[in-house]
Chain A
Amino acid sequence: MTAVTCELCPRGCVIPEGAAGDCRIRVNLGGRLRATTYGRPSAVHIDPMEKKPLYHFLPGAPVFSIATAGCNLHCLNCQNWQLSQRGGEEMEEIYRLDPPELVRAAREEGCRSIAYTYSDPIVFYEYVYDTAELAHAQRLANCFITAAYINREPLRKLCGVIDAVNADLKAFDDGFYRRVNGATLKPVLDALVTMREEGVWLEVTNLLIPTLNDDPAMIRRLARWVHDELGPGTPLHFSRFQPLYRMRNLPPTPVETLDLARREAKDVGMEHVYVGNVLGHEGNSTYCPRDGTLLIGRVGFMITHYALTPDGRCPSCNERIPGVWRSAELFGEQP
């Protein structure tokens, strides 16, 4: 009987024959590790880019979004737990979409980008990688929405085919990660730095949960770390918690807490700080950090105002706003 050791994420699961890793979908069959959901997503949707959320990457573009079962985190407040906390054999809905079919479907639906999202796409790494390579060959962008709990070498390789990441930095506290997510903080911070080094467009989301990670001092430490290690131009999203899954005992995050977090982050020098999951909040929109001009107005996932110049500058003061504003910036002008 041959056990195998998975090297994909910091868990390093040692998996006996006939069992799965902690993620439930990487299974040891006959002494070989199998990616059992390869080409078999259980969620397929077309979303606006703003839903990911990616606010500085091809704004307003529809993005073909997929996920398979499984996850390497076990967050008590997971909003996709029916998908993430189950193995492939437990799913009712499974679609057959091997990489070429997936890329073809995205193109047919008029999407210029594919998002690997909902559960954590780290666990269906092989499917992401092969699809992303094919997508690039057809000038489609790849977006990776993740909690960034991944080892350095697999991540480095993946960054070669990924264009944009929204990474969930759940708290700036290792104890929180252990209690609420079943993970640890340091590998996540290392992964974010690696993504920045590899030149992938990166935005960071922090979901604020009342009493658990909404301490202003912790928020300030998180924002300072993002500022120092990832840069002040990194978009930072503070998202509103909704009681879900195994965390229904806490109320939704008060808007005042999100406002406070936004102020703290701006105080340490972050230039683009957003508030998420609050309809119509002024923190949904993008402003010029130099003169305050409204550049992109948003209500929910809709863009209501767009004033950026084609090369991504403020029309009033010509300040360059960091981001990827047109797909030509990724692939060059269409021949």
Chain B
Amino acid sequence: MYGPRHLYSRHIHERELRFLALVLLTGCVIALQLGEGLRLAGLQGAGWRAIDLPALERRIDVGNLSEHEAVWYHEATRQETHATGAEQRP
């Protein structure tokens, strides 16, 4: 009952479980990545882009980029904001 054959099959069983867990974990990471990509792509379909805001602010702080106010814009109306999904923070 506790011969070498049993030990062998029990060993395989644990290894398979670990492998299965690894596969599931990898799948979850891929799914999360894809989900985040799709979420951002869905938001950006409305004519705006998520950017690396901390990097932008750092470069503005050291003077490599500018805070010069643009012309030709207005505060978005409620209708514009709602229609384009811009009420969602990137």
Contact = CB atoms under 8 A, between A and B. Distances in A.
A214 interface: no
Contacts of B47: 11-15, 21-22
A232 interface: no
A14 B66 contact: no
B65 A36 contact: yes
Contacts of A82: none
A89 B52 contact: yes
B70 A3 contact: no
A3 B77 CA distance: 8
B71 A125 contact: yes
Contacts of B51: 18-20, 24, 27, 87, 89
A26 interface: yes
B14 interface: no
B59 interface: yes
A29 interface: yes
A20 B70 CA distance: 12
B76 A5 contact: yes
Interface in A12-55: 12-22, 24, 26-27, 29, 31-40
Interface residues of B, number: 37
Interface string B43-58: 0001111111101101
B46 A2 contact: no
Contacts of A13: 46-48
A273 to B, nearest CB: 35
Nearest to B51: A20
Interface of B: prevailing SS: loop
Nearest to A31: B75
A169 to B, nearest CB: 23
A46 B45 CA distance: 38
Contacts of A319: none
A16 B66 contact: no
Contacts of B55: 89-90
A106 to B, nearest CB: 20
Contact of B66 (A7, A15, A39, A87): A39
B27 to A, nearest CB: 30
Given A21-B48, A89-B51, A35 B86 contact: no
A22 B49 CA distance: 6
A179 to B, nearest CB: 17
Contacts of A11: 47
B26 interface: no
B66 A35 contact: yes
Interface in B66-90: 66-77, 80-81, 83-84, 86-90
A8 B72 contact: yes
B64 A94 contact: yes
B86 A3 contact: yes
A137 interface: no
Nearest to A96: B63
Given A7-B73, A20-B48, A15 B68 contact: no
A89 B81 contact: no
Interface of B: 46-53, 55-56, 58-60, 63-77, 80-81, 83-84, 86-90
Given A35-B69, A35-B70, 19 more contacts: A1-B89, A4-B76, A5-B76, A11-B47, A14-B83, A14-B84, A16-B88, A16-B90, A18-B90, A20-B48, A22-B47, A22-B48, A87-B49, A88-B56, A89-B51, A89-B52, A90-B55, A126-B68, A127-B68
Interface of A: 1-8, 11-22, 24, 26-27, 29, 31-40, 87-90, 94, 96, 125-127, 151, 153-154
12 contacts: A4-B76, A7-B74, A14-B47, A14-B76, A19-B51, A20-B51, A26-B73, A35-B69, A38-B68, A87-B51, A89-B56, A96-B64
